[in-house]
Amino acid sequence: MKRIRDLFETIAIWADRHSPQTLFARALLIIVVPMLVLQALSAWWFYSQRGDNVTNRLAFLLVRDLRTLISLHQDFPDEAHRLWIVRHAQVDLLMDISFRKGIIDHWKPIDHYDIVAREVQGALEADLKRPYFIDNSVGGNQLLLEIQLNNGDIMTAWVPHLRLTFGSSFAYVLAQLGLALVLFGLAIWFMRRELVPIEHLGATADALGKGRDIPDFAFSGGTREVRNAARAFQTMRIRLSRSIQQRTEMLAGVSHDLRTPLTRMKLSLALLSDSPETKELSADVADMERMIEGYLAFARGEGDEETAPVDLGEILEEVIAGARRDNADVRLSIEGDMQVELRPLAMKRCLTNILANALRHGARAEILAVRGRTSVEVIVDDNGPGIPPDHYEDVFRAFYRLDESRNVDTGGVGLGLTIARDVARSHGGDVSLAAAPLGGLRVIVRIPL
């Protein structure tokens, strides 16, 4: 039993691998294959049952006509009656016959797949029971028959296939083909009509994954299952929007509330006299301000900014110009058209965080922007110490830092790469890490088109 189950699983895997990859093509395949099998079985039954039976009966009628001609020739052997028999066989029986002296001593096997010759051969052996010769290769849509007579004569007959076949086969094939084309056309029309809502739903889901604005939608057509899926997707979209909005508002509110006591602390410190203790407190307050700014930046990661077609190359130029004002060594290379639909301010924040992280740990950075068939990739390499591969995913966690001392001189608050990935994923893309050819870290930002 297990072997049979494994066999069926293997067949299913092979069929899935070699089947069309679109739902429309697979649905048509489900409809077309049974129809083709039905057409093939119908044609086989028609030709093997009705066709063979009709040809068999026509072959026996031919043999009966031949027996009649043989009897007439034997009862009236004179030349005048022979000419009469030949003439009437041609006019009334649609056969060209002739008589000559001789004995049949040769044999030519017929084509096994020639149904007409095979049925005639069977009828001759079953009903006529005389020596005969049959040749189905004379051409001209004719069958050559030679039959040995008792008086030493040989009767030769050229029988047209018209006498042994039925003329409705071609009409039947045309009717089958016409019906198949009509059914295929209806199937394609219905399948295309039913798949339009699914394609619309897929396009909407893709737009949502890329962070683009999606207006409310409702499907009036399509099946009940598709409409239910559309309603569920609409509900999911609303819940996601509410969740993102609540998170943003919460983080912004907390960060804003923390600024009030920090402001009072700064005013109090400003009124105190300078001392080592007040300097330490001032440094702690400055650190807290930097952390709060990081939290606010993280809260603005999603934001309410609308997507728009922008030139990613110009955003990169602005990011690099800001870094070069601090005497940073940054090189930029762009390959292909950089027109992409995205949130420009959020993307600028993402790239700024990545470049700042690279320049914080390295002395030089190289940026390569490449447009592919389905996405745009921005690759940022630095010559810093890099990150161990087993920490690649850890650094994307909020507030995670490789430097556990939390020293602001060696890093930020641990939100730079978190914000960068958050922004990229909100556009339907992602941020990944790898080893850089310069010896440091490579950061790859992928944005789908």
Boundary (domain end) residue, out of 284, 302, 320: 302
Whether 45 is covered by a domain: the verdict is yes
For residues 309 and 311, give the distance between their C-alpha atoms in angstroms, rounded to a whole number: 7
Whether 427 is covered by a domain: the verdict is yes
Model confidence pLDDT, tens digit, residues 55-70: 888 888 888 999 898 8
Give the per-residue pLDDT at 35.
78
Q: How many degrees, rounded to 5, is the angle at CA 81 between CA 141 and CA 97?
A: 15
For residues 314 and 230, give the distance between their C-alpha atoms in angstroms, rounded to a whole number: 38
Boundary (domain end) residue, out of 253, 280, 302: 302
User: What is the b/e burial string over 145-157, where b = at least 16 CB atoms within 10 angstroms of the residue's CB?
Assistant: bbbbbeeebbbbb
Q: Are residues 274 and 377 in the same domain?
A: no
SS3 of 395-418: the string is: HHCCCCCCCCCCCCCCCCCCCHHH
Give the per-residue pLDDT at 138.
80
Asked if the model's pLDDT at residue 338 lies above 80, the reply is yes
Beta bridge partners of 384: none
Whether 12 is covered by a domain: the verdict is no
Model confidence pLDDT, tens digit, residues 410-445: 455 567 788 888 888 888 889 999 999 988 899 999
**Per the structure block, which two tokens stand in for 384?**
């810093």
Whether 2 is covered by a domain: the verdict is no
Whether 224 is covered by a domain: the verdict is yes
Q: Are residues 314 and 221 in the same domain?
A: no
Q: Are residues 273 and 387 in the same domain?
A: no
Q: Are residues 125 and 222 in the same domain?
A: no
Strand 153-160 with 142-148, pairing: antiparallel
CATH number at residue 311: 3.30.565.10
Asked if 371 contacts 335 with a C-beta cutoff of 8 angstroms, the reply is yes
Whether 403 is covered by a domain: the verdict is yes
Q: Are residues 248 and 321 in the same domain?
A: no
CATH number at residue 96: 3.30.450
Asked if 120 contacts 134 with a C-beta cutoff of 8 angstroms, the reply is yes
SS3 of the chain: the string is: CHHHHHHHHHHHHHHHHHCCCCHHHHHHHHHHHHHHHHHHHHHHHHHHHHHHHHHHHHHHHHHHHHHHHHHHHHHCCCHHHHHHHHHHHHHHCCCEEEEEECCCCCCCCCCCCCHHHHHHHHHHHHHHCCCEEEECCCCCCEEEEEEECCCCEEEEEEEEHHHCCCCHHHHHHHHHHHHHHHHHHHHHHHHHHHHHHHHHHHHHHHHHHCCCCCCCCCCCCCCHHHHHHHHHHHHHHHHHHHHHHHHHHHHHHHHHHHHHHHHHHHHHHHHCCCCHHHHHHHHHHHHHHHHHHHHHHHHCCCCCCCCEEEEHHHHHHHHHHHHHCCCCEEEEEEECCCEEEECHHHHHHHHHHHHHHHHHHCCEEEEEEEECCCEEEEEEEECCCCCCHHHCCHHHCCCCCCCCCCCCCCCCCCCHHHHHHHHHHHCCCEEEEEECCCCCEEEEEEEEC
Model confidence pLDDT, tens digit, residues 355-386: 988 988 888 999 999 998 888 999 999 998 88
CATH number at residue 255: 1.10.287.130
Q: Calculate what percentage of the chain has a pLDDT beyond 70.
A: 81
Closest C-alpha to 23, from 232, 205, 192: 192
Handedness of CA 149, 151, 152, 157 (dihedral sign): negative
- Mean pLDDT confidence for 389-418: 69
Q: Are residues 66 and 151 in the same domain?
A: yes
- Mean pLDDT confidence for 72-77: 86
Boundary (domain end) residue, out of 302, 335, 356: 302
Q: What is the total count of domains within the chain?
A: 3
Q: Calculate what percentage of the chain has a pLDDT beyond 90.
A: 11
Least confident range from 49-58, 76-85, 240-249, 297-306: namely 297-306
Q: Are residues 264 and 368 in the same domain?
A: no
Closest C-alpha to 333, from 375, 287, 380, 292: 380
Contacts of 150 (CB under 8 A, 6+ apart): 74
Q: Are residues 69 and 154 in the same domain?
A: yes
For residues 419 and 399, give the distance between their C-alpha atoms in angstroms, rounded to a whole number: 11
Instruction: Provide the whole-model pTM.
Output: 0.51
Q: Are residues 76 and 100 in the same domain?
A: yes
Can you give the residue range of the structural domain that contains 126?
Answer: 24-166
More confident residue, 341 or 115: 341
Q: Are residues 296 and 311 in the same domain?
A: no
In the chain, the amino acid numbered 312 is: L
- Mean pLDDT confidence for 255-278: 75
Whether 18 is covered by a domain: the verdict is no
Q: Give the length of the chain.
A: 449
Handedness of CA 223, 224, 225, 226 (dihedral sign): positive
Give the per-residue pLDDT at 445.
93
For residues 358 and 349, give the distance between their C-alpha atoms in angstroms, rounded to a whole number: 14
For residues 69 and 88, give the distance between their C-alpha atoms in angstroms, rounded to a whole number: 10
Give the per-residue pLDDT at 286.
75
Q: Are residues 38 and 120 in the same domain?
A: yes
Q: Are residues 297 and 378 in the same domain?
A: no
Whether 402 is covered by a domain: the verdict is yes
